[in-house]
Amino acid sequence: MATYSTNEFRAGLKVMLDGDPASIVENEFVKPGKGQAFNRVKIRNLKTGRVIERTFKSGDTIEAADVVDVEMQYLYNDGQFWHFMQPENYEQVQADSTAVGDNAKWLKEQDTCIVTLWNGSPLAVEPPHTVLLTIVETDPGVRGDTSGGGGKPAKLETGAVVRVPLFVQQGERIKVNTRTGEYISRA
Amino acid sequence: MAPDSDNDWRPTASFATLKLRAQLIARVREFFAKRDVLEVDTPILSQAGATDPHLHSLAARSLAPGDDRLRGFLHTSPEFAMKRLLAAGSGSIYQICKVFRGGESGRRHNPEFTMIEWYRVGFDHHRLMDEVAALVTEALTGFRALDEVEKLSYRDAFLRHARIDPHRASAAEFRACAQTRGVTASGLAPDDLDGWRDLLLTHFVEPHLGVNRLTFLYDYPAAAAALARLRADNPAIAERFELYIDGVELANGFHELADAPEQYRRFEADKNARAQLDLPPVPRDERLLAALAHGLPDCSGVALGFDRLVMLAAGAASIDEVIAFPSARA
C-alpha cells in the first residue's frame, strides 16, 4: 500500500482520509521555535465535496488514494447510470447520480468529459468547458432585437435551461459555458 | 512539476524586495557595530549534528574519489561554535549565516534560511529581550509602525488563550482541551505531554501573540528548555524566550546553560528520545562540552529568523517572496 509522509503533502495530492478518498487543498507547516512540528491541512472529501481541516504530527504518514482523472467519452444514460468509455481501449464505466450530480444537464452523447476514477469507479464527472447544444424550447423572440440585453429562458436538449438573447430561436444550436451556465454564442 | 516550470529559473523575490533585504542586513550590521558586538563566522559544515529530536540536520558527504566517508552535517544553527568562541574569551559576538533544517518547508519555512544569532556576555534573558526589541524596531523603522512591546509569561499566554495551565496539565488534559476546540492530531501519541502542549501552543496560543506589536513569551516549562538554564529559584521553569509578531515566531533566546554536566545530560536525553522515535543517531559536539567545562561566561543568546524579518518589512505573505531562490528552485 502506497503512503505519503507529511513532507510530501502538497495541493492536489490524493489520499485516504477516514476511509474516503480525499484531495489536499492546502498544507501549512507550523512549528514552535523548538519542539513538535505539525502540518495543518485543508482537505476535500472527494465523495462529499466537503473541505475539512486536519492536523498531522509532522513526519506522520497517510495512505495514498488510487484516484486518477481520465478523459472519457459519454455514451448514454440508461435511466439510472451514465455510461462512459475510454476511447483508447473501449473500456466502459458507469457513473451514478452522486458522481454526476448537477453536471448531468451538460452531458451530451459523444462529448469528451473528465471522469475522476477511484479504484476504477467514477467519483466525479466534469463536462467540457463549453458544449454545443440544440434549443428544444423557447418563446419566439422579438424581431430586430440584437442587443442581447434582457434575454429569455431556453430549454436545451439535455434538459438544461439557460438565458439566451431574444433573437435566438428554437431549433438553433448554441455554445454554452458549463462552468457558469451562460450562453456564449450561436454555433 | 510547477505549472510555470518554463519560468522557474527566475527569482521568486522581486528586485525591490531583494534591495530591501540588503538594506535590512546593513541596518543589522550597523546596530551591532554601534554596540561594539563583534561579527564572526563559524563553519556551516560541522562534524557534530543537531541532537534535538525535533531538528533534522542535512548530512553532507564528499564525492572525491577515496574520500567517500560521511563528512559532516550542515548546521541547524551556529550555536555550538559560537559558544566555543565565547568560552575562549571572544566577548559579545554576532553572526549572520545560512542554516539548514530538513523537513521544514512551508509558507514561512524554507529548509535553507538566514539566521541572525548573537550572544551578549553579562546579559540575562530579560536584558537581551530588550535588545532584541531594539534591533527589530530599528530594522522595521519606516516599514512598519508597531504598538508598544509586550512581555507575557508562557503560563499567562496559555491561561489567556487556551484556558489551561501549561505547567500543571496532564497530556490527557491538553488533549481534551484541543478536542473541545475541534482539533486532534494524527500520529501524536496520547501520552506525548510535550507534543500536545506544542499542539495547543501552535494552534491556539501563537496565532494571538504579537498582534501588530512585539510580544515576548518567556519562562518556558523545563521540558522545553532546549539549551536554556533553569531558574535558580524554580527548576520547573526555563529561562527561555520567544518573540512573536502577528502570530509568527521571529526569535528564540536563552539565558545560556553553562553547566557542562547538565549539558551532557540533555545530550543524553536527546539521544534517548531520538532512539525512541527511530531517528538516526547524530554525533554530539564533544568540543562544546569541553568548552563548557572550561567555562562559558554568564551570557544570553538569541537566534532571529532574518527572512521573516524581511517578510514583515515587505508585507510578504510567503517566505518565497523574500528569498531569490527557495529550495524548489535552488
Quote the cell numbers at residue B101: 533544517
pLDDT confidence of residue B1: 41
Residues A106 and A74 in one domain: yes
Spatial separation of the C-alpha atoms in residues A165 and B324, rounded to whole Å: 51
Domains of chain B, by residue range, sit at 5-146+286-329
Could you tell me the fold of the domain covering B5-146+286-329? BirA Bifunctional Protein; domain 2 (3.30.930)
Which residue is closest to A6 within chain B, CA to CA?
B103
Cβ-nearest to A57 among B105, B108, B188: B188
pLDDT confidence of residue A23: 94
* Domain endpoint, select from A42, A63, A84: A63
Residues A72 and A117 in one domain: yes
Residue B4 has pLDDT above 70, yes or no: no
- The conformational region for residue B286 under phi > 0 = left, psi -120 to 50 = alpha, else beta, is alpha
Task: Please check whether residue A52 touches B, CB under 8 A.
Answer: no
Number of domains in chain A: 3
CATH number, domain with residue A181: 2.40.50.140
Which residue is closest to B270 within chain A, CA to CA?
A35
pLDDT confidence of residue A146: 57
Q: Report the percentage of chain B scoring pLDDT > 90.
A: 92
Task: Please check whether residue B79 touches A, CB under 8 A.
Answer: no
Residue B187 in contact with residue A39, Cβ under 8 Å? no
Cβ contact (<8 Å) for B252 and A33?
Answer: yes
Task: Please check whether residue A18 touches B, CB under 8 A.
Answer: no
Judging contacts by C-beta atoms under 8 Å, the chain A residues touching residue B104 are: 29, 31, 37
pLDDT confidence of residue B63: 87
> What is the Cα Rg of chain B in Å?
20
Task: Please check whether residue B201 touches A, CB under 8 A.
Answer: yes
Task: Please check whether residue B53 touches A, CB under 8 A.
Answer: no
* Domain endpoint, select from A26, A48, A63: A63
Residues A92 and A71 in one domain: yes
Residue B148 has pLDDT above 60, yes or no: yes
Q: Which residue of B181, B202, B220 to mutate against A (max A Cβ within 10 Å)?
A: B202
Lowest mean pLDDT among A80-84, A149-153, B51-55, B154-158: A149-153
Cβ-nearest to A55 among B105, B185, B251: B185
Quote the cell numbers at residue A95: 457513473
Q: What's the pLDDT band for A143 if we cut at 50, 70, 90?
A: low
Residue A141 has pLDDT above 70, yes or no: no
Q: Find how far residue B114's CA is from the centre of its chain.
A: 11
Quote the cell numbers at residue A133: 447544444
Cβ-nearest to A56 among B106, B185, B226: B185
CATH number, domain with residue A46: 2.30.30.30
Residue B97 has pLDDT above 60, yes or no: yes
Q: Find how far residue B39's CA is from the centre of its chain.
A: 19
SS (H, E, C) A133-177: EEEEEECCCCCCCCCCCCCEEEEECCCCEEEECCCCCCCCEEEEE
Mean pLDDT of chain A: 92
Task: Please check whether residue A40 touches B, CB under 8 A.
Answer: yes
Cβ contact (<8 Å) for A56 and B104?
Answer: no
**In which domain, by residue range, is A154 found?**
130-186
Q: Where are the alpha helices (DSSP H) in chain B?
A: 15-34, 79-87, 125-140, 154-161, 171-180, 193-200, 260-276, 286-294, 306-314
pLDDT confidence of residue A144: 57
Residue B2 has pLDDT above 50, yes or no: no
* Domain endpoint, select from A92, A126, A160: A126
Cβ contact (<8 Å) for B186 and A59?
Answer: no
Q: What's the pLDDT band for B99 if we cut at 50, 70, 90?
A: very high
Spatial separation of the C-alpha atoms in residues A61 and A164, rounded to whole Å: 51
Which residue is closest to B250 within chain A, CA to CA?
A33
Residues A44 and A78 in one domain: no
Residues A15 and A53 in one domain: yes
Residue A172 has pLDDT above 90, yes or no: yes
* Contact partners, residue B5, CB within 8 Å, separation at least 6: none
What ipTM does the predicted assembly reach? 0.87
